[in-house]
Structure 1
Amino acid sequence: MSDRGITQLSDLARLRGAPELSPASADRLRAELANALSQSSWFTVGVMAPSAEMALKTLRTLESSQGWDPLDLVETTEESGPAYLKANQKVGTIRIRIEHGLGEGVLISGHGDDETQPSTTWGPLPLDFF
């Protein structure tokens, strides 16, 4: 899937899987995402990947690119197949399970410390976005 028609983060919300992005589109979305992330206190991340290893590698790259402390892997799978990773900064954990039928990509949800700051989700972003 190409990035035709993807000009801002909100354009991704209609997609089931992450598009391939041109370098210019990726740079534009990274700048918009950096601004959006700065408005949140903490994050949850979902990674849909071809394997548990790829999902964890993608999360670790995201953590590093954002200067986030690495979260603790508390549950994973030894099975082969498409994986879904759920990371939660609030509780500091990562859980990975096999999940068939998903697209591929990264979903990031920003959260506030109270109900005055609504949760917002961005993505799906490509696995190599960060």
Structure 2
Amino acid sequence: MVKEFFGINLMEINKLVDLNNCRTAPQLSNSQEKKLLEELELILFNTDWITIGIMAPSDNRAIEALQSISKKYSSIKFRDLSSLHADGYVFLKANQKTGNVFVRSENGLGEGILITCQYNEDNKDSNTFGPLPLDFFR
């Protein structure tokens, strides 16, 4: 379901699971962002580590989105990002456990942040949430 808000169509996004069918991050209202962030933080604080996938129109936008996550959560840090470079649309992959970050050029992607919650125990399944807007964590 889509609603109009000041001339902008907003998808009916009330829970993280509502993002599962999105190819690209939807525009979210402030109240939607707040709800989703509260839900995501409950999950993040109970996960052992995360991987982050960022689909962006440039390497700089992807790096900025990743840095916004590290700035918001001091326990999520990555190695030197200054050496990262890819042309055009990119997919950036970051691993909190190892600190490694990779970026590659990739056309045909949507845009947004994907967060995958990982667990040290094999009996717990990882879950991916998103795509969230590139400025979601600012």
Measure, in 1, the Cα distance between the counterparts of 2:93 and 2:9. Answer: 26
Deviation (angstroms), 1:36: 1.2
CA deviations over 1:87-123 (Å, ceiling 9, x no partner):
0112210001111000000000001112122101110
Whether the aligned pair in 2 keeps the contact of 1:76 and 1:97 (CA below 8 Å) is no
Structure 1 equivalent of residue 74 of structure 2: 67
Q: Give 1:82's match in structure 2, choosing from 80, 89, 93.
A: 89
Whether the aligned pair in 2 keeps the contact of 1:2 and 1:19 (CA below 8 Å) is no
Query: What percentage of aligned pairs have identical amino acids?
Result: 38
Deviation (angstroms), 1:69: 4.2
Whether the aligned pair in 1 keeps the contact of 2:69 and 2:76 (CA below 8 Å) is no
Write out the 4+ residue segments of structure 1 that deviate beyond 6 Å after TM superposition: none
Measure, in 1, the Cα distance between the counterparts of 2:95 and 2:70. Answer: 12
Kindly name which structure, 1 or 2, has the bigger radius of gyration based on alpha carbons.
2
Task: Describe how 1:46-65 pairs up with structure 2 within 5 A.
Answer: 46-65=53-72
Structure 2 equivalent of residue 13 of structure 1: 20
CA RMSD of aligned residues (A): 1.6
CA deviations over 1:7-57 (Å, ceiling 9, x no partner):
100000110000000001100101011111122100000000110011011
Q: Which 5+ residue runs of structure 1 have no aligned equivalent? A: none
Q: Give 1:29's match in structure 2, choosing from 15, 19, 36.
A: 36
Whether the aligned pair in 1 keeps the contact of 2:11 and 2:27 (CA below 8 Å) is no
TM-score normalised to structure 2 length: 0.87
The secondary structure found in structure 1 opposite 2:26 is: coil
TM-score normalised to structure 1 length: 0.92
Whether the aligned pair in 2 keeps the contact of 1:40 and 1:111 (CA below 8 Å) is yes
Count of residue correspondences: 129
Structure 1 equivalent of residue 51 of structure 2: 44
Q: Which 5+ residue runs of structure 2 have no aligned equivalent? A: 1-7
